[in-house]
Structure 1
Amino acid sequence: MSSMCSSRISNRFRPNAIVNGGWDDARATFYGDMTGAATMKGACGYGDLFQQGYGLETAALSTALFNNGEACGACFEIMCVNDPKWCLPGTIRITATNFCPPNYTKTVGVWCNPPQKHFDLSMPMFLKIAQYRAGVVPVKFRRVLCAKQGGVKFEISGNPYWNIVLVYNVGGVGDVTDVKIKGSGNWIQMVRDWGQKWKTGSVLTGQSLSFQVTTSNGKMLQFDNVADPSWQFGKTYDGRKNF
């Protein structure tokens, strides 16, 4: 990396905002248009990214980075490098909210195929680091801490016989590795359904709900009585604190 890039990196960001200090190589493209409508929902289980606080600062990750959904919620700092014709100065920070699927019918220009590391950005975020006509650019990236406003959120869906909980707006390292739920009894281990949706087959209607959430750095927070006994499916409940 050039001395100019190194200076820009070290002067702009505090070390305590970095999950790991090493920069790695990847490529970046964009999908959708300036509205970001195409980036909503997706393989991590999130819904309306504007309502959920992620906005357009998001990306779909290639197979090598997505890690079967375990990377959902992780945050990355990205900058365009080694292409002076198309790169723009500065960096962006995004949250992983989707999956960029591989295409094994092609062997050229398929950036999301393993083992390539790739970020498919929203168009507004891509245009912050590269010109539109570039299409695809080389980038440097690293994991950073996620700065989220408000508490961790729990969106509950399912039916009286099983529950699926979307855990979102997670600060700190951002990616959740374990969730437990408790009604009026003991703690119940939830299993990852897909992305950051977690499920259990326990009947918990009519009981107040608490959660234990663990992120990939091993930090666990307990959220007591997040939802009172009158909670409803399809509603979102605020944990009132964050990592």
Structure 2
Amino acid sequence: MPNPELPIMAPLMAMEIQVWGACGFGYYGKIVNDGSVTAVSAKLWKNGEGCGACYQVKCKIPQLCDYNGTYVVVTDYGEGDRTDFITSPRAFSKLGRNAVASEKLKKYGVLDVEYKRVPCTFKGNNIVYQINENSRNPGYFAINILYVGGTYDVTTVEIWQREQHQWVAMRRSYGAVFDFANPPEGEIRLRFQVSSNIEAHYYVVSRFPIPAVWKAGATYSTKILPY
């Protein structure tokens, strides 16, 4: 159900949250969802677990606001006084019924909105992750969780340690970035602990391991299937 009476801030920080952002998306944070992105408050940020979540946001001025509102993807953390969303200009412009209405909405600065979490569907029922640009083979391994289908959050990422015959948790460095010092040699296997508002935690294992000759910047995906 939508949560009423929660304000949205005008996009004063839009360029910052699009390009970099606390999720660690880098350039992807600028182009994901056609640039309709947002920073969110701590309760939606959830220490980085909220990165990549999709929301429908609608303002509440009938003569100006579009019935369907705007659909945004979380790429950053940020909040002001009672503010839960700081949107990009592209996302903010979709709040209005038309271009004229959107320009009038900008003059309000802060708007009361309704919002609800909605399934992310633009990359299918997948978890998509990228090897972080700071990774070095061997010695340091990090990934960015770029996309999680549906209304799931990735709570933990684990790496398979062959010598110990066990899964070992990676560290959440910040946002959607998980890292691991001195990763195992050879192929790398990952599994992801995911959860949603209606399902308990369960594990998703990537069907195919990351090749031994992995390089920073490579992107991989895995189907969301219970483990």
TM-score under structure 2 length normalisation: 0.78
Candidates 120, 131, 137, aligned match of 1:156? 131
Candidates 76, 92, 97, aligned match of 1:126? 92
1:235 aligned counterpart, secondary structure:
coil
Candidates 205, 209, 219, aligned match of 1:237? 219
Unaligned 5+ runs, structure 2 = 97-101
Partner Cα separation in structure 2 for residue 87 and residue 239 of structure 1: 37
Candidates 147, 171, 177, aligned match of 2:121? 147
- CA displacement, residues 30-70 of structure 1 (integer Å, 9 cap, x when unaligned): 2457xx67512210111113687433121101233322222
Candidates 71, 75, 84, aligned match of 1:97? 75
Check whether the contact 1:52–1:168 (CA below 8 A) recurs between aligned residues: no
Q: Which amino acid aligns with 2:130?
A: E
2:47 aligned counterpart, secondary structure:
helix
TM-superposed CA distance for 1:154, in Å, is 2.5
In the other structure, the counterpart of 2:11 is 30
Check whether the contact 1:25–1:117 (CA below 8 A) recurs between aligned residues: no
Q: Which amino acid aligns with 1:92?
A: T
Which sits farther off after the overlay, 42-51 or 209-218? 42-51
2:207 aligned counterpart, secondary structure:
strand
TM-superposed CA distance for 1:178, in Å, is 0.9
- 1:33-182 alignment to 2 at 5 Å? 39-49=18-28, 53-81=32-60, 83-84=61-62, 86-101=64-79, 112-113=80-81, 116-130=82-96, 131=102, 132-149=106-123, 151-157=126-132, 158-159=135-136, 160-182=138-160
Percent identical among aligned pairs is 23
TM-superposed CA distance for 1:129, in Å, is 1.0
- CA displacement, residues 218-241 of structure 1 (integer Å, 9 cap, x when unaligned): 242110333111112x12232242
Distance 1:182 1:75, change over 3 A: same
Distance 1:183 1:45, change over 3 A: same
Partner Cα separation in structure 2 for residue 239 and residue 167 of structure 1: 10
In the other structure, the counterpart of 2:99 is none
Distance 1:219 1:25, change over 3 A: farther
Distance 1:43 1:51, change over 3 A: closer
Q: Which amino acid aligns with 2:90?
A: P
Candidates 175, 183, 202, aligned match of 2:182? 202
TM-score under structure 1 length normalisation: 0.74
Distance 1:224 1:235, change over 3 A: same
Distance 1:90 1:153, change over 3 A: closer
Partner Cα separation in structure 2 for residue 56 and residue 90 of structure 1: 18
Partner Cα separation in structure 2 for residue 40 and residue 181 of structure 1: 29
